[in-house]
Amino acid sequence: MSKTAVAFGIDEALKMLGLNEINDGTSTGSENFGSGEAIASYSPVDGALIGKVKTTTSDDYEKVMQSATEAFKEWRLVPAPQRGEIVRQFGEKLRELKEPLGKLVSYEMGKSYQEGLGEVQEMIDICDFAVGLSRQLHGLTMHSERPGHRMYEQYHPLGIVGIISAFNFPVAVWAWNTALAWVCGDVCVWKPSEKTPMCGVACQNIIAEVFRENNLPEGISCLINGDYKVGEMMTNDNRVPLVSATGSIRMGKIVAQAVAARLGKSLLELGGNNAIIVTPEADIKMTVIGAVFGAVGTAGQRCTSTRRLIIHDSIYDQVKAAVTDAYKQLRIGNPLDENNHVGPLIDTDAVKMYQDALEKGQKEGGTVLVEGGVLSGEGYESGCYVKPAIVEADNSFHIVQEETFAPILYLLKYSGSVENAIAQQNGVVQGLSSAIMTNNLREAERFLSSAGSDCGIANVNIGTSGAEIGGAFGGEKETGGGRESGSDAWKIYMRRQTNTINYTTELPLAQGIKFDL
């Protein structure tokens, strides 16, 4: 057990989550989740080995699918409000285990402890939302053109929902999908990121206990572990009518093509290249808070992280000075220490990507305002800690057009009307989140109009990150077009059916067609 793990109670958190105490880093209590080669989970916080999880073989996968298939036959017949009751109990378990699970999220992924707790709170919130939804899975009733007929539509469960999640939100995104899918009558098979497998095992332990207490089959929630090859088993499987995948654009295109080839459905949450527009009528203090948290929160590893700050030339120097000054106050270090603002990147591969992006930005003509770099020495032994950087750039730079999953903020300038800023914001292939800082009603409404932001999320006077579960979450263009969480996102987890009932003794045909025998 590392000094960090001992000091911050990680061993106790693991015990509470049903994972064995780590002595030499070889036992996690999770060996029953597969029979393949073990993948090791190392904490980016201190480089310590958290544990090992065995991967899913093709034989293991087949057993999982059989379990899920059988569970679906039973689960779909449970009335939706009763399914909601199971989700309610899951939410209560999460409330009891919020601190240990939040601590594990922080230690395995690297985000701050407060953000780890916030992620578990998202799980609790979506459970609450799903419980209410379980009594509102409504269709519509339509008037028929034929006398003595009634038309209506209803929604039925799809079946097995496959979930592929990313490391940056190792538990919340799974919950967004499962909580809704479960109340809709579906069962779920989840492949968590191979970079955060312990979080997946912990969540499976929690929901498995709920199923046991209610004499329900464990196949309602299944876990598979491994790399992209394990994900391919699911994306190519006709028994999985819907695959929900979160990750890079490159990964999403592969998943979309595989699922579409078998005429399945995919829900894609892919890359973001999110911008905040700062107009001359912006509140500068609010702008700085929104921009800095958006850029450095989760060490820039949110799909909604702020990548670009598009500032009007009349206030450019003022905003630049305020933001760069705020960066001087950032504290980088152990994310379990609540005095720190920024934790580590997920691994050294992410560090290399960060370094390459800074180098490319400078080669294209960017000016470094806040210097980046990798931190070393006491407290930074994992090699995953980097300094958040700010670069003056142009929207046309190739590196600015890309999504870099790291704390690099590009400052861009615009002149003239807000339309020019909107054109810059929309001038990338991604379309997830966007924001405008302004006290001008006309600018705000223009930004929100059909000629404004082309993103799935558009905010006024708040940043690009930190979406609430009540709204549908997702983006347009190469972000994938999917929607998760709130609003009517539940409909993708169900199949729609139109029903017509004839309660007469005649059989009139639609459109007045006559067919007499």
482 is a domain residue: no
Residues 30 and 134 in one domain: yes
Residues 114 and 37 in one domain: yes
- Give pLDDT tens digits for 355-387: 999 999 999 999 999 999 999 999 999 999 999
Percent of the chain residues topping a pLDDT of 90:
94
Residues 351 and 215 in one domain: no
For the entire predicted model, the pTM comes to 0.96
- List all residues 6 or more positions away from 289 whose beta carbon is below 8 Å from its beta carbon: 463
- Give pLDDT tens digits for 153-173: 999 999 999 999 999 999 999
Domain of residue 385, residue span: 274-469
Start-to-end CA span in the chain (Å) = 83
Mean pLDDT of 496-506: 97
- 189, pLDDT greater than 90: yes
- 460, pLDDT greater than 70: yes
Q: Which helix (H) or strand (E) holds 496?
A: strand 494-502
Rounded distance between C-alpha atoms, residue 419 and residue 424, angstroms: 9
513 is a domain residue: no
Identify the pLDDT of residue 6: 87
Residues 205 and 352 in one domain: no
501 is a domain residue: no
- 45, pLDDT greater than 50: yes
Whose tokens are 């809704």? That residue is 180
Closest to 83 measured CA to CA, from 171, 175, 155, 187: 187
Mean pLDDT of 447-463: 98
Rounded distance between C-alpha atoms, residue 463 and residue 277, angstroms: 10
502 is a domain residue: no
Strand order in the sheet with 494-502: 141-143, 149-157, 494-502
Confidence tier at 32 by pLDDT (50, 70, 90): very low
- 29, pLDDT greater than 60: no
- Give pLDDT tens digits for 111-132: 999 999 999 999 999 999 999 9
- DSSP letter assigned to residue 442: H
- Give pLDDT tens digits for 55-70: 999 999 999 999 999 9
Confidence tier at 7 by pLDDT (50, 70, 90): confident
Asked if residues 431 and 477 have their Cβ atoms less than 8 Å apart, the reply is yes
509 is a domain residue: no
Residues 265 and 321 in one domain: no
Asked if residues 137 and 155 have their Cβ atoms less than 8 Å apart, the reply is yes
Average pLDDT along the chain:
96
Residues 185 and 52 in one domain: yes
146 is a domain residue: yes
Collapsed DSSP state (helix, strand, coil) of residue 222: strand
Confidence tier at 3 by pLDDT (50, 70, 90): confident
Residues 200 and 306 in one domain: no
Q: How many domains does the chain have?
A: 2
Mean pLDDT of 432-459: 98
Q: Write the DSSP assignment of 114-162 as a string of letters.
A: HHHHHHHHHHHHHHHHHHHHTT-----EEE-SSTTEEEEEEEEE-SEEE
- Just list the catalytic residues: 269, 303
Distances (CA, A) of 268 to 237, 260, 411: 17, 12, 29
Residues 73 and 167 in one domain: yes
Residues 449 and 366 in one domain: yes
- Give pLDDT tens digits for 197-236: 999 999 999 999 999 999 999 999 999 999 999 999 999 9
- 516, pLDDT greater than 80: yes
Mean pLDDT of 321-331: 98
Residues 319 and 427 in one domain: yes
507 is a domain residue: no
What is the CATH classification number for the domain harbouring 334? Answer: 3.40.309.10
Distances (CA, A) of 488 to 163, 251, 470: 19, 26, 10
481 is a domain residue: no
Residues 254 and 322 in one domain: no
What is the CATH classification number for the domain harbouring 111? Answer: 3.40.605.10
Confidence tier at 33 by pLDDT (50, 70, 90): low
Per-range mean pLDDT, top range of 20-24, 28-32, 401-405: 401-405
Residues 257 and 125 in one domain: yes
CA angle 186–192–195, rounded 5-degree value: 175
Identify the pLDDT of residue 125: 98
